[in-house]
Structure 1
Amino acid sequence: MRRLLLLAALAPLSACGLHPLYSGGGSGAVASALQQVEIAPIQGRSGFLMTNALRDRLASGSTPAYRLDIRLDDRIAGLGVRRDDSVTRERRTLRARYQLVDLASGSVLVDATAGSDAGIDVVQSEYGTIAAENTALERLADNVADKIVARLALFAQRRAAAK
């Protein structure tokens, strides 16, 4: 009886229209499209971290068909202020404007932004604050890279479905 109820409850889910994004695994349409993305150089420490995070996720291996151009905006702003005007809390924001360019035609296929922010406690040790800011930047670069790759994967899936 329980199995019958479970099957009856799961039946509507088969028509919900959800499909796996990475169907076919490493040889699927999305994975092979992501492997053809070349990352253009990005300036600065945040650019270095972003490039490494994207390379880890894209696993470029074949001849590039696309180029990913990224411009980063990395800011730190003071939030909490004491009576003596010293900052007690900071907010680090990393925003990326990115474009996926088709190398054959030069046309822009995806033009979007992604961003994330993190709160940082300002402590009395300057070293501790700098270490917290650097750790926040590393996490933000990973987070923004995840968002960019997810958007590119969605684009690749839609493009493969249209063919």
Structure 2
Amino acid sequence: MLWHKLKTGLFALILVSLAGCGFKPLYGNGGGNDTDSRLLLQQVQIELIADKEGQILHNHLLDRFNPRGRPQKPNYFLSSELTISTASLGVTRDDNTTRQKLTVTSRFSLRNKQGESIEFSVSRVSGYSETQSEYATLVAKEDAVHRSLREIAKDARARVAAFLKSGELG
């Protein structure tokens, strides 16, 4: 019984402190006339990104920002540059690599119609095993790249939503 009262009191204290700190939900409308971040994200045009991996990232971004299709009159433009690098992690005694570290970095630039921009970078590190089979190694590397690109798109969406909700970019 005492434990239940303690939990209830702690929960009430957390709610009161969150209300006092100016916390606003990112994905809800927050009541009142607060702008919904989904509507803001639908005003972002995703620019084309070079190379095969860039197109994969572009498609992930489109799915997250514009699930109902490209905006007719975009207010914001998101461009990106993608770099992918690998480094050997595991090396056997006979100098064969057994494990690779893959780093995928995307530098984003979000700009409005007036030309004001915010730049940010998102990186993901993943690994894959290098085997005797070239095909298995290639598939493992492609899977690591795809996972990283999916996570980068997810993180970019959250960051852009935060920028737009804060009004930092007019």
Q: Structure 1 length normalisation: TM-score?
A: 0.87
**What do residues 108-138 of structure 1 show as CA deviations (whole Å, max 9, x unaligned)?**
1x21100001111111111000000001111
Matching of residues 84-163 of structure 1 within 5 Å: 84-102=94-112, 104-108=113-117, 110-159=118-167
Identity %: 31
Aligned residue in 2 for 1:80: 90
Per the TM alignment, residue 147 of structure 1 is displaced from its structure 2 partner at its CA by: 1.2
Per the TM alignment, residue 10 of structure 1 is displaced from its structure 2 partner at its CA by: 1.3
Alpha carbons 1:36, 1:61 under 8 Å: kept: yes
Per the TM alignment, residue 62 of structure 1 is displaced from its structure 2 partner at its CA by: 4.6
Please tell me the residue identity of whatever aligns with 1:81: V
Please tell me the residue identity of whatever aligns with 1:23: G
Aligned residue in 2 for 1:7: 8
**What do residues 126-163 of structure 1 show as CA deviations (whole Å, max 9, x unaligned)?**
10000000011110001111111111111122119x99
Q: Structure 2 length normalisation: TM-score?
A: 0.84
Please tell me the residue identity of whatever aligns with 2:54: G
Alpha-carbon RMSD: 2.3
Q: How many residues align?
A: 159
Matched position secondary structure for 1:101: strand
Please tell me the residue identity of whatever aligns with 1:13: I
Please tell me the residue identity of whatever aligns with 1:106: G
The answer to whether structure 1 residue 20 and structure 2 residue 20 are counterparts is no
